[in-house]
């Protein structure tokens, strides 16, 4: 008795679906125009040339969300058997017992949610509302990077020797130099 006997229809359905999806992709390749030029293969950024790769590291909050999701999803999966046998328990007059068990489980689930909620892990704008964000604002790690001072520092009286400069001057130093030459 194989799996195929049971889910023959699903298998046929899937195969038809795959065929319907893949065939226009493959067969019409023969009739489609194919005139690649360099400009066509630039990622679309509204006319600007893209800077760097897009496959970069991204915000850790997505990861936290995924972790919370996995925890709750596992708990939800455990509820499915409960839902399946609930009617059978109710038929034997044990619905109170089944309901209490379910309620305890859901209660633990809800407690986890409350914990995550109170920790601020489900607040998307974290730096403004979570305790950790407050610490950040108090100066351990600045949540918003400090802005550079708009005006250059008062210049030193003596211009340093050009030879003493590093090979690649930083933007700040170049700014200083430009300012000095203006004088």
Query: Is residue 28 involved in binding another protein (CB under 8 A)?
Result: yes
Q: Which of 30, 47, 49, 54 binds another protein (CB under 8 A)?
A: 54
Give the number of other CB atoms < 10 A from CB of residue 61.
Answer: 14
Query: Is residue 65 involved in binding another protein (CB under 8 A)?
Result: yes
Q: How far apart are CA 20 and CA 14, in angstroms?
A: 10
Question: Min. distance of Cβ 182 from another protein in angstroms?
Answer: 38
From residue 137 to residue 166, what is the string marking binding to another protein with x (rule CB under 8 A)? Answer: ------------------------------
Site for another protein in 75-134 (CB under 8 A): 76-77, 79-80, 83-88, 90-91, 95-96, 98-99, 102-103, 106, 109-110, 113, 117, 122-125
Pick left, alpha or beta for residue 50 (phi over 0 → left; psi -120 to 50 → alpha; otherwise beta): beta
Tokens (6 digits) for 169: 């001057």
Q: Where are the alpha helices (DSSP H) in the chain?
A: 3-6, 8-27, 60-91, 95-119, 126-129, 131-137, 171-182
Query: Is residue 12 involved in binding another protein (CB under 8 A)?
Result: yes
């Amino acid at each position: 008795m194989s799996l195929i006997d049971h889910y023959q229809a699903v298998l046929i359905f899937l195969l038809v679906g795959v065929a319907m999806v893949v065939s226009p992709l493959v067969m019409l390749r023969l009739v489609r125009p194919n005139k690649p030029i360099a400009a066509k293969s630039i990622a679309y950024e509204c006319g600007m040339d893209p800077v760097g790769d897009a496959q970069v590291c991204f915000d850790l909050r997505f990861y936290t969300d995924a972790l919370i999701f996995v925890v709750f999803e596992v708990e939800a999966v455990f509820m499915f058997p409960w839902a399946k046998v609930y009617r059978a328990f109710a038929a034997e007059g044990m619905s109170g017992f089944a309901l209490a068990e379910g309620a305890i489980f859901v209660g633990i689930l809800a407690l986890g949610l409350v914990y995550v909620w109170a920790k601020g892990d489900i607040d998307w704008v974290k730096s403004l509302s979570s305790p950790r964000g407050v610490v950040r604002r108090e100066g351990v790690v600045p949540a918003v990077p400090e802005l550079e001072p708009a005006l250059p520092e008062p210049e030193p009286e003596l211009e340093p020797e050009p030879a003493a400069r590093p090979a690649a001057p930083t933007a700040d130093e170049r700014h200083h130099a430009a300012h000095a030459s203006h004088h």
